[in-house]
Chain A
Amino acid sequence: MHELSLAMEVIRIAERESAIIPVSAIKEISIEVGDLSGVEAGAFQSALELLTRDSVLEGANIKIIRTSGTGICNSCNKEFEMHSFMASCPDCRAFPSVVKGGKEFRVVSLVVD
Chain B
Amino acid sequence: MCDTCGCGKPGEFVIHDHSHSHDHDHDHDHDHDHNHEHEHHHDHDHSHEHVHPHSHDHEHGKVIDLNVDILSENNRLAELNRRFFAGRKVMCLNLVSSPGSGKTTILEKTIESLQGSHKISVIEGDQQTLLDADRIEKAGAPAIQINTGSGCHLDARMVDMAVQKLDPETKSILFIENVGNLVCPAMFDLGEHKRVVVISVTEGDDKPLKYPYMFQSSHLCLINKSDLLPYVDFSTDETIRHARSINPSLEFIILSAKTGEGMERWIEWIVKQTEATL
Judging by beta carbons under 8 Å apart, are B212 and A9 in contact? no
- Residues of chain B in range 208-257 having any CB-CB distance to chain A below 8 Å: 209, 212-213, 216, 245-248
Judging by beta carbons under 8 Å apart, are B69 and A106 in contact? yes
Judging by beta carbons under 8 Å apart, are A105 and B58 in contact? no
Within 8 Å by CB of A2, from B152, B209, B246, lies B152
Judging by beta carbons under 8 Å apart, are B61 and A109 in contact? no
Judging by beta carbons under 8 Å apart, are A107 and B1 in contact? no
Judging by beta carbons under 8 Å apart, are A17 and B53 in contact? yes
Judging by beta carbons under 8 Å apart, are B216 and A5 in contact? no
Judging by beta carbons under 8 Å apart, are A113 and B61 in contact? yes
Determine if A38 is an interface residue (Cβ-Cβ < 8 Å): yes
A residues in contact with B63, CB < 8 Å = 109-112
Judging by beta carbons under 8 Å apart, are B70 and A108 in contact? no
Judging by beta carbons under 8 Å apart, are B151 and A5 in contact? yes
A residues in contact with B53, CB < 8 Å = 17, 20-21
Question: A1 CA to B64 CA in the complex, in Å?
Answer: 29
Q: Given A1-B184, A108-B67, A112-B61: A86 and B3 within 8 A (CB)?
A: no
Determine if B10 is an interface residue (Cβ-Cβ < 8 Å): yes
B residues in contact with A17, CB < 8 Å = 53, 64, 66
Judging by beta carbons under 8 Å apart, are A38 and B70 in contact? no
Chain B minimum-CB-distance residue to A39: B187
Chain A minimum-CB-distance residue to B54: A109
Determine if B71 is an interface residue (Cβ-Cβ < 8 Å): yes
Determine if A12 is an interface residue (Cβ-Cβ < 8 Å): yes
Within 8 Å by CB of A106, from B60, B67, B155, B212, lies B67
Question: A43 CA to B153 CA in the complex, in Å?
Answer: 17
A residues in contact with B61, CB < 8 Å = 27-28, 111-113
Question: A10 CA to B18 CA in the complex, in Å?
Answer: 33
Q: Given A110-B63, A111-B58: A105 and B71 within 8 A (CB)?
A: yes
A residues in contact with B3, CB < 8 Å = 1-2, 4-5, 8
Judging by beta carbons under 8 Å apart, are A86 and B212 in contact? yes
A residues in contact with B247, CB < 8 Å = 85
Within 8 Å by CB of A107, from B58, B68, B152, lies B68
Q: How close is A2's CB to chain B, nearest CB, in angstroms? A: 4
Interface bits A22-34 vs B (CB < 8 Å: 1, else 0): 0100011001000
Determine if B199 is an interface residue (Cβ-Cβ < 8 Å): no
Chain A minimum-CB-distance residue to B208: A86
Question: A107 CA to B188 CA in the complex, in Å?
Answer: 18
Q: How close is B220's CB to chain A, nearest CB, in angstroms? A: 18
Please name 19 pairs of A and B residues whose Cβ atoms are closer than 8 Å in the assembled complex, sorted by A: A1-B184, A2-B3, A2-B153, A2-B184, A6-B187, A8-B11, A10-B70, A12-B73, A13-B66, A13-B68, A21-B55, A27-B60, A38-B186, A51-B10, A106-B69, A107-B67, A109-B64, A110-B63, A111-B64
